[in-house]
Amino acid sequence: MSIRTTLAAGLALLALATGTEAATSRPSWLVQKIYAYNHPFAANLPGELATKMDKMTQSAFYFYRGTAHLFYTDMANTAAWPTSYFSNYLTDGAWLEGDMHMQNLGGFRDANGNAVFDTNDFDEAYWGPYVWDIRRMAVAIVLAAKENGIASSDRQSLVKNFVDAYLTQIAAFKGNDNEKTWRLTTANTNGVVKDAIQAADAKTRSNLLAKYTAVTSGVRQFVASSTLQLVNASTLSALNAAMPGYIASIAASKRYANSFYTLKGAALRLGAGTGSLGRYRYYLLIEGPSTATSDDVILEMKQESDSAVAIAAPGTMPASAYGYHNGVRVAMSHKALLNNADVLVGSTSMNGMAFYLHERSPYQEDFDYTLLTTYTKFNDAVKYMGQGVAKNHALADKDYDSTLIASSMDKEITDVIGANGSAFKTEILNFALGYTAQVEQDYVDFVAAKNSGATLY
């Protein structure tokens, strides 16, 4: 056994022996951080922030979903949460999804019409240590499994099996370009993941349009509802003014005729997601390939701000790499992390704010973690999640743009772990158990603070 192997195993086992599940009650700090992160959006959509706080009281997992900024504030505190032993300066610059949890994956059709299971949220995408994506998903697995009634020993096995799947897949990508064509489909999945892919593939454009719009006198328009608020004339004018910037952001080779993007109507989408609540999210109805109402397209236009990852790794992804525009950062990340990305992905600015746009696809199905009610069902899912995270890291490197990331991340990650996979799994499990305890304590303190009337935004 090498010195490196012995040290890695020793560090991991020592961490387990010193009490990984201790947590700190920090209510004042917690309220201050939540307020500071959310207050900048309070003047615009206070009702959405109220919805966010209500959602975050539902469970520790929902709280975790809404507080990626707390996670990265903690990752910056390396005295309390040490950096991984299995890292170096190259692997500390991986292109991260940034907010890995099972609700940020789902079933959808890619731009080539393949029904797949993959990452579907890129708001926090940024460069940083690859282990942060693994850590964040590992904690999410423990929280969700606990909520679903999965036994403690099985929760630990789920984390180990997630990491196993990641390690096997990242190593399989080393030395080849398979990550450019690899995908999770109905042919290589089963269980709830396969069901999500099939459900997405079975959907239709007509059903999506009927959900949000109606045709009156031959014209299709949005229909107002509790979650869809029609915009006023001044906002519609501003959205129209932002459209040329969006069109210009799409590569010429993927850009349709300008008539495709003709704006027919717009609405403010309310109550969607958790972490991004409080930011503007518009649905835009555009003409699509013809003047027929049956092929109209809905775009989602979402306000973006700095990635939470930057709290712990400021400047790791230089702002110059994305033109100092967070909509560009998210659009770039969408294209970097996915094969056959949506050709309608782009960015624009409106009223001094950065926005990211993509199609609100008719062919998508959110992943429902509450269906993972047995160890077997959950175990199937975490394997695919581990493979998917590995694909993200392997694809979003020199394969996407060697002027941004010059290295092969699948090689660098595989090499830095080497033959120490078992110790790496122990390190991740230790972190997951310890940080889950901290999230649960923070959740209790958050609920108490909210119930006592603390100002949270």
What pLDDT sits at residue 21? 62
Query: Dihedral sign, CA of 383, 130, 400, 418?
Result: negative
pLDDT band at 19 (very low <50, low <70, confident <90, very high): very low
Percent of the chain surpassing pLDDT 70: 95
In angstroms, the Cα distances linking 118 to 34, 101, 220, 388, 427 are 30, 12, 31, 6, 26
Burial-class residue 295 by CB neighbours within 10 Å (0-12, 13-18, 19+).
middle
- Residues with Cβ < 8 Å from 397, sequence gap 6 or more? 94, 95, 405, 407, 408, 409, 410
- Single pTM value for the model: 0.95
Are the CB atoms for 64 and 274 separated by under 8 Å?
no
| CA 344 to the chain's CA centroid | 19
pLDDT tens by residue, 291-335? 999 999 999 999 999 999 999 999 999 999 999 999 999 999 999
Among the listed residues 69, 139, 112, the one whose alpha carbon sits nearest the alpha carbon of residue 385: 139
What pLDDT sits at residue 24? 97
pLDDT tens by residue, 122-140? 999 999 999 999 999 999 9
Mean pLDDT score across all residues of the chain: 95
**For tokens 């300066």, what's the residue?**
89
- Residues with Cβ < 8 Å from 182, sequence gap 6 or more? 173, 339, 391
pLDDT tens by residue, 252-271? 999 999 999 999 999 999 99
Phi, then psi, of 263 in degrees rounded to 5: -80, 120
More confident residue, 9 or 270: 270
What pLDDT sits at residue 22? 78
C-alpha to C-alpha distance for 272 and 120, rounded to whole angstroms: 14
pLDDT band at 15 (very low <50, low <70, confident <90, very high): very low
pLDDT at 90 over 70: yes
pLDDT at 10 over 80: no
C-alpha to C-alpha distance for 125 and 333, rounded to whole angstroms: 6
Map 437-451 to HEC letters.
Answer: HHHHHHHHHHHHHHH
